[in-house]
A and B are shown apart, each in its own frame.
Chain A
Amino acid sequence: MSNEIEVKGATKLFDDTRAISNLNFSSVKGINIILGPNGAGKSTLLRCIDGLYKLDNGSVRVRGSDPYVDDKVRKEMSYLSDNYALYDYLDVKSNIIFFGRIYGMKDYEIMEKAKGILAELNATQYINSKIYALSRGTKQKISLCRALINDPQILLLDEPTAFLDANSSDSIRRIMQRFGKEKRTVILVTQKLDEVTRFNCRVSIINKGVIVKDSSTTGLYSTILKDSFVNIRLGKPVGHDIVKKTPGFISSNDKAATMLKIKVDSYKDINKAVEYLIGKNAFIISIDYIEPLIESLSW
């Protein structure tokens, strides 16, 4: 099958508000990122793909079936949002066993699978803890375990790292990367450019309920880096007369600079600045681009 997910002319209204409007989207095997600002229709699209919402117009097909009508489609599909959606007064084990049973699994199969996932997420020790007693990051790890218990071939992720620390976020990204390598279909919706640039994959830009651009992570850099700024941190101070001649120089933190800000139009400009500074015997510790707000980018 060429495309696991096909969305054609999809429109979803909430009263008079069009969350998505005549939207078209086809998934590819591996990681698919849908990037867009708040209110662009990302979550609504994902929920329509998962069959949680009925479309007002158009169609969604997952493996050829309408997910709103055909519940069996979700047997090999999972959905994880930034909201952990677990039963607070039950313990981790009861939560996972409950969801496993709904997928038609036996209890011993569920526990065997859960132990493997929890070990990968470094969360095995919480198996008998009540959900309300866990930290936000741990809850999200348990929720990911819940979403992976059925070994899904299609994984739908709605800002899964939104409230997580770096370690927990990395756990989720590692699993996404593994799924991508195994040629499963992963759809990640996010509004964070930083999140997108951690993957090398297809990126679809959504705005005002419509997919406005289909690109890739590398293709996205040319848009992100246009008219943006980069901070270069230096190991030891460099004289102002050298620093001010750096290509794209905007400002520095002192006359004897240890941090300078440059303006770039593409990643090539970063190389030029770095080459110049190295040529002047400067020691570079880090290069950070100042991430633009997604709302400020024009597609």
Chain B
Amino acid sequence: MQLDKSYAIAVKDIKEVFSSISIYGPMIGVPIFFSILLPFLTFYVTIYEGPSIAARITQLHFIPSGLTGLGSLSFMTYFSVSIMGPIFLTMPILTATVIAADSFAGEKERKTAEALLSTPIKTSELLYGKILASFIPTMILTMVVFGIYGVITDILSASAFKLAILPTLPWLMMIASSPLLAIAAIGVVVLISSHVKGVKESQQISTLLILPVLVMPFISVLGIAALTFYFFLYLIIFLAVLDTVIIYVGIKSFRKESII
């Protein structure tokens, strides 16, 4: 395998994505908007809405420890990590899905694959290049979004409690799981690329991956599981195995003629 060919494909795909504002605009704009807005929401809920939420939550059978001190530093920490955190974990999935779907199904939809596949490129070089093209921008955006959210949250918590609350260990583990979520999303796109007709179909199927992530805040609030260091450790181990299986099956089942 010649990595320079894969690199050329990755560069081309990234250039293509960032040459059209209709693709990269929403992909970058929406996460950054939320990374700025959500810390303020967290802060507002912590300081002003605590008592009324407390009245409702105390009616539940299971009350997570972070919710016992509403209006406190521990509540803000809990809300930032366990409620808002998983929302940001959807970013690597959504971003990777948008880029990967455009990269794989886009070649088919725009009928450019014919020229690409008539070059002396190997299937492995093609796939590696396209996976790289989806993974690199996704991880950069994810880190930027987590970074903005963390900094703003810390500024707000410091202003109210004289203490920066992030990063916590579960928060860092959550960030550590994001590359694996991105790889899972890309793997699903590879896996289904032989069966879809276009970009939209590919995106719609792949974004189903965000559903389990969006369940996380609920399982935390309902006390089913706490989003602790060990929760994310097990999640990372599970994703590593899942990614290996998805990528292996995706590469093995990929047929180049399927994207013509």
Contacting residues, chain A, for B52 (C-beta < 8 A)? none
Tally of contact residues, B, Cβ under 8 A: 28
Known: A94-B15, A98-B12. A73 touches B110 (CB 8 A): no
Q: How far is the CA of A81 from the CA of B112 in the complex (A)?
A: 11
B16 touches A52 (CB 8 A): no
Of all chain B residues, which has the CB nearest A94? B15
Specify the chain A residue showing the minimal Cβ separation from B23: A89
| Binary contact track A52-82/B, C-beta < 8 Å → 1, others 0 | 1110000000000000000111110111010
Assess the B120–A71 pair: CB atoms within 8 A: yes
Query: Do A52 and B118 have beta carbons less than 8 Å apart?
Result: yes
User: Which residues in window 1-49 of B have CB below 8 A to A?
Assistant: 2, 4-5, 8-9, 11-12, 15-16, 19-20
Tell whether, in the assembled complex, residue A52 and residue B260 are in contact, meaning their CB atoms are under 8 Å apart: yes
In the assembled complex, the Cα of A99 lies from the Cα of B5 at a distance in Å of: 10
Contact, CB under 8 Å: A52 / B12: no
When the two chains form their complex, are residues B16 and A90 in contact, meaning their CB atoms are under 8 A apart?
Answer: yes
Contact partner, A52, options B5, B11, B112, B256, Cβ 8 Å: B256
Interface pair B2/A85, CB less than 8 Å apart: no
A68-112 vs B, Cβ < 8 Å mask (1 yes, 0 no): 000111110111010101111110001000110111100000000
Size of the chain A interface, CB-CB below 8 angstroms? 32
Question: Is A202 located at the chain interface by the 8 A CB criterion?
Answer: no
CA A53 to CA B20, docked complex, whole Å: 32
Chain A residue with the shortest CB-CB distance to B7: A101
**How far is B120's CA from A50's CA once the two chains are assembled, in angstroms?**
10
Would you give the shortest CB distance from B124 to chain A, in whole angstroms? 10
- Given A94-B15, A102-B119, A104-B2, verify A79-B114 contact (CB < 8 Å): yes
Contact pick for B12, options A74, A90, A146, CB 8 Å: A90
Cβ–Cβ contact B115 & A52, under 8 A: no
B120 touches A94 (CB 8 A): no
List, in ascending order, chain B residues with CB within 8 A of A73's CB: 120
Determine whether the beta carbon of A75 is less than 8 Å from that of B120: yes
Residues of A within 8 A of B260 (CB): 47, 52
Q: Does B122 contact A (CB under 8 A)?
A: yes
Shortest C-beta distance, B104 to chain A (Å), equals 14
Interfacial chain A residues near B119, Cβ < 8 Å = 74, 99, 102-103
Q: Which residue of B8, B19, B112 contacts A85 across the interface (Cβ within 8 Å)?
A: B112
A77 CA to B121 CA in the complex, in Å? 12
Q: Is B111 touching A72 in the complex (CB atoms < 8 A)?
A: no
Closest Cβ of chain B to A240, distance in Å, is 55
Give residues of chain B (110-162) contacting chain A, Cβ–Cβ below 8 Å.
Answer: 110-122
Inter-chain residue pair count (beta carbon < 8 A): 75
User: Is B114's CB under 8 angstroms from A83's CB?
Assistant: yes
Q: Is the CB of B118 within 8 A of A143?
A: no
Set of chain B residues within 8 Å of A99, measured between Cβ atoms: 115, 119
B201 to chain A, nearest CB (A): 20
Interface string of B236-256 (1 = CB under 8 A from A): 000000000000000000011
Report whether A86 and B257 are in contact in the complex, using a CB–CB cutoff of 8 Å.
no
Bound Cα distance from A54 to B115, whole angstroms: 17
| CB <8 Å contact, A52 and B114 | yes
Residues in chain A near residue B12, CB distance under 8 A = 87, 90, 94, 98
Q: A71-B121, A73-B120 are in contact. Are A85 and B115 (CB under 8 A)?
A: yes
Whether the pair A90, B118 counts as a contact (CB closer than 8 A) is no
Residues A101 and B4 in contact, CB atoms below 8 Å apart: yes
Instruction: Report B-chain residues with C-beta under 8 Å of the C-beta of A146.
Output: 115
A81 touches B114 (CB 8 A): yes
Docked pose: A75 CA to B2 CA in angstroms: 14
- List A contacts of B256 (CB < 8 A): 52
Which B residues touch A85, using CB under 8 A?
Answer: 111-116
The interface residues of chain B lying within 8 Å CB-to-CB of A81 are: 114
Given contacts A87-B112, A101-B4, contact A74 B118 (CB under 8 A): yes
Complex: A86 Cα to B115 Cα, angstroms: 8
Assess whether A87 is in contact with B114, with CB atoms less than 8 Å apart: no
A residues less than 8 Å from B113 (CB atoms): 85
Is B114 a contact of A102 with CB atoms below 8 Å?
Answer: no
CA distance A79 to B114 in the complex (A): 8
Neighbouring B residues of A86 by C-beta, 8 Å? 112, 115
- Identify which of B15, B19, B114 gathers the most chain A CB atoms within 10 Å of its CB: B114
Residues of B within 8 A of A78 (CB): 118
| Complex Cα gap A64–B118 (Å) | 18
Q: Are A79 and B118 within 8 A (Cβ)? A: yes
B257 touches A89 (CB 8 A): no
Q: Are A143 and B4 in contact (CB under 8 A)?
A: no
In the complex, which residues of chain B have a beta carbon less than 8 angstroms from the beta carbon of A87?
Answer: 12, 16, 110, 112
Ranked nearest first, the 7 interchain pairs of A and B with the lowest CB-CB distance are A85-B115, A79-B118, A101-B8, A89-B19, A74-B120, A102-B119, A75-B120
| A–B pairs, 20, beta carbons within 8 Å | A52-B117, A52-B256, A52-B260, A54-B255, A54-B257, A71-B122, A73-B120, A75-B120, A81-B114, A85-B111, A87-B110, A89-B20, A101-B4, A102-B5, A102-B8, A103-B120, A104-B5, A146-B115, A147-B115, A156-B118
13 additional A-B residue pairs with CB within 8 Å, beyond A101-B8, A102-B120: A47-B260, A52-B117, A72-B120, A77-B118, A83-B111, A85-B112, A89-B19, A89-B20, A98-B8, A101-B4, A102-B8, A102-B9, A146-B115
